[in-house]
Chains A and B, each alone.
Chain A
Amino acid sequence: MSGLTGKIIARSLGQVGSTLAFLILVIAVVEVLLYLILGKALKHRYTLPYMLIAPAAIGLALLVIYPIGYEIRLAFSNMSLRSFKNPEFGLDQAWRNFRMIFTQPVLKQAMFFPLFLRTILWTVIQVTSHVVFGMCLALLLHRPMKLRGVYQALIIVPWAIPQVIAVLTWRNEFHFEYGFINIMLTRIGLNAVSWKTNPFWNFAAVNLTNIWLGVPFMMVIILGGLQSISKSYYEAAEIDGASGWMRFHSVTLPLLQPVLTPAIILGTIWTFNLFNVPFLINQYELETSDILVTALFRAAFEYNRYGFAAAFALVIFVILFVFSVAYIKLTGGLKGVYER
């Protein structure tokens, strides 16, 4: 076995070293230029802050702005395998790409709108389940009981496991012959389920996995919110004769809102864009389990429709952008930030 020999380590370090050296060199040059231009020539009062921000700004420009710019440029091209090295760019190509998204199959057979609706369904199922189950667990744990810390730790485990590992483990558990779930089902006299090939059950498997993964996060957030609610509100409600449901409805829920609102908006965006779970659980690439982002990945890297996929990515970006702006406007989520 060709293992990790000293030679390989030395060469790897050498490669990292040269990259590091290049980065240091570029930053040093920029810093010197900033110092000479802003500090010496212009005598700018913010020379030092600019010099301090410069490395991060360069890093962001390289890692975020350049790829986005490249992506937008690609959306204006007909890049595919046949035009891999010499794609044509132009408005007509962009128009063709955007038109294709809405008029032709995005994947082999799935059209954009059914995929979009499925993505919404997926997001609604997930966020609702996360909040409902997370709330139930948080309420159960937010009371004096023995071994509360142990229960909390156990429930948080799914969140603590690296997502890809957890998902791949679940995928194996959905195996028809050897999976834990089917073995349990057959032991209690039920039929084994085709989790990987049946469209309905595959979508169910994807959902079950992500519910398992997502509930602990929501539970932790809600539990934190619950712990911050002063007991005096409940005491006052009790004196007024409020029932358990009324206390929950009129005290707990409104006071949890500052915590729940950002958790839900973030959860929605994360779920809408979640790639690992739908992609990995859907091992046999059933189009009936694809959502927009997995379809986007397949269009780009399995079907090599690069220009088309870039335009498709822009459409998904616009959808999320509109959602975020609308949600922020409606809930005033960023009010606190602007008012500072």
Chain B
Amino acid sequence: MKKVVVVLVLIMAAAMVIGGGQGETTAEGPVTITLWTKEGEADNALQWVYDLAEGFNQINSNQQVEVVKPGDVEALREDFQTASLAGTAPDLLWTVNDHAGPFTAADLIQPVDGLFDLSKYVDAALAAVKLDGRTWGVPINNGNHLMLLYNKDLVPQAPADTEEMFRVAQRLTTADRYGLVWNQTEPFWMVPWLGGFGGSVFASDGVTPTLNTKAMRDTLQFLYDMKYKYKIVPKESDYNGADSLFKEGKAAMIINGDWSLGAYKEIFGDKLGVARIPKVSSTGKWPAPYTSGVFFMVPKEVSGAKLDVVKAFVNFVTNEENQVQMVRSLNRLPALKVALDETIVKNDPFLKGSADQMVVGTPMPTVLEMRCNWDSMKPEMQAVLNDTKSPADAAAAMQRAAEACVKTLE
């Protein structure tokens, strides 16, 4: 049995040797932070994030950034919450503004007011991450809003109002082409029209759902008519389906976000038109897409040397040079005030169209209750578009579901 003890002692010694050295590198070597990003490969944005991290790592030998891509936007939110609970959260997030709602409710991120000079960023972008008087993110780009994009070969001039849009789209809809496509599965695409019909998803207090309204019923009826009366959209269309149809020239117009500009510009060049979503003829109002942007958010526990790396990297990404680079490669509106004055931003027809749409946009609510609204609107919008529910019933069901959901937040 003595042999057994000797073997065990040897194993313990070996384990200590293998396990040793780990702590030393962190004490002596560079400080590395982990960044989780929501960006994807579709518009080369993920590549841009990798390039930025590599550029930063090259000029900062003692401060390093490691980029991790945890699936899609929703996966990032879920994984971050779970990782925070387990004490293995990343050191920096690169994500959308509406995550600020759940993350602040769960006390997972820290305000950035004292950490960065926020005066250099566009106010409209900062407004999208303000909650309880504090700012919860540093903007990387401004916008993230929907707009009308059209193929100039088919539609030389953007329709001014919905009547014209229906007329043009009906003329262009054939057996193998649609007049208009959009992601019919997400209420994010419905919300602009709700604004066009004079509605809003919250009462003036910003947290009470107001979904069973005349504006919502009119919006749902409008979407229903688009599909069943005017027959200008596909029977079923998700994001990828709509995107592919437009790219292949099988759709004359698409409602899509500023994130898609880069890819479309590459395919259509000058033949790509960018304009506001047409004015709602019956109300005379412009549809109001949600505007927000992409933000850095700093997890609650980050401090000390890691926080220094976070600060350095955030300032690096949002410096003028990199903001202009983002405009060039991704066609996104910059969040830095000085970058907005650059010639490239002012003279680019696509960005001009995008900025014009932003003027009539409305900041996307970040409160946690918005999640209830999204979750409640989604199935009901789909039910109307499937002709399985009337707009009136769907609006009433949305409201009930949203109210029940808000109760569960307590």
A246 to chain B, nearest CB (A): 48
Inter-chain contact A2/B12, CB cutoff 8 Å: no
Would you call B73 an interface residue if the criterion is a C-beta within 8 Å of the partner chain's C-beta atoms? Answer: no
Q: Majority SS of interface residues in chain A?
A: loop
Residues of B within 8 A of A32 (CB): 5, 8-9
Give Cα A197–Cα B22 distance, bound, in whole angstroms. Answer: 52
The residue in chain A whose Cβ has the minimal distance to the Cβ of B108 is A84
Inter-chain contact B15/A197, CB cutoff 8 Å: no
Inter-chain contact B408/A308, CB cutoff 8 Å: yes
A35 to chain B, nearest CB (A): 6
Residues of A within 8 A of B11 (CB): 24, 28
Inter-chain contact A198/B379, CB cutoff 8 Å: no
Q: Give the contacting residue for A85; candidates B14, B21, B106; CB below 8 A.
A: B106
Residue count of chain A within 8 Å CB distance of chain B: 47
With contacts A18-B18, A24-B14, A104-B404 known, is A84 near B238, CB below 8 A? no
Binds A, one of B46-54, B114-122, B131-139, B318-326: B46-54
Give Cα A196–Cα B235 distance, bound, in whole angstroms. Answer: 11
Would you call A304 an interface residue if the criterion is a C-beta within 8 Å of the partner chain's C-beta atoms? Answer: yes
With contacts A35-B1, A35-B4, A283-B238 known, is A81 near B53, CB below 8 A? no
The residue in chain A whose Cβ has the minimal distance to the Cβ of B241 is A177
CB < 8 Å A-B pair total: 140
Would you call B27 an interface residue if the criterion is a C-beta within 8 Å of the partner chain's C-beta atoms? Answer: no
Q: Give the contacting residue for A284; candidates B19, B22, B185, B371; CB below 8 A.
A: B185
Q: Give the contacting residue for B401; candidates A35, A81, A105, A302; CB below 8 A.
A: A105
With contacts A1-B47, A24-B14, A84-B108 known, is A175 near B241, CB below 8 A? yes
Would you call B311 an interface residue if the criterion is a C-beta within 8 Å of the partner chain's C-beta atoms? Answer: no
Would you call A66 an interface residue if the criterion is a C-beta within 8 Å of the partner chain's C-beta atoms? Answer: no
* Interface residues in A175-219 (C-beta closer than 8 Å to B): 175-178, 192, 194-199
* Interface residues in B158-177 (C-beta closer than 8 Å to A): none
Would you call A39 an interface residue if the criterion is a C-beta within 8 Å of the partner chain's C-beta atoms? Answer: yes
Inter-chain contact B382/A284, CB cutoff 8 Å: yes
* Interface residues in B214-244 (C-beta closer than 8 Å to A): 234-238, 241, 244
Would you call A25 an interface residue if the criterion is a C-beta within 8 Å of the partner chain's C-beta atoms? Answer: yes
A287 to chain B, nearest CB (A): 6
With contacts A81-B105, A85-B106 known, is A285 near B379, CB below 8 A? yes
The residue in chain A whose Cβ has the minimal distance to the Cβ of B105 is A81
With contacts A18-B19, A109-B401, A303-B408 known, is A25 near B12, CB below 8 A? yes
Inter-chain contact A2/B54, CB cutoff 8 Å: yes
With contacts A39-B1, A108-B375 known, is A176 near B15, CB below 8 A? no
Inter-chain contact B375/A194, CB cutoff 8 Å: no
Would you call B144 an interface residue if the criterion is a C-beta within 8 Å of the partner chain's C-beta atoms? Answer: no
Give 20 new A-B contacts, CB below 8 A, not counting A84-B105, A177-B236, A308-B408. A2-B50, A14-B22, A17-B19, A25-B12, A25-B19, A32-B8, A35-B1, A35-B5, A81-B105, A81-B368, A82-B409, A82-B410, A108-B375, A194-B236, A194-B386, A197-B184, A197-B185, A199-B386, A284-B238, A284-B382
Q: Which residues of A contact B (CB under 8 A)?
A: 1-2, 14, 17-18, 20-22, 24-25, 28-29, 31-32, 35, 39, 80-82, 84-85, 104-105, 108-109, 175-178, 192, 194-199, 283-287, 301-305, 308
**Interface pairs A-B: 9 shortest CB-CB:** A21-B19, A176-B236, A84-B106, A24-B15, A21-B18, A21-B15, A25-B15, A108-B401, A194-B236
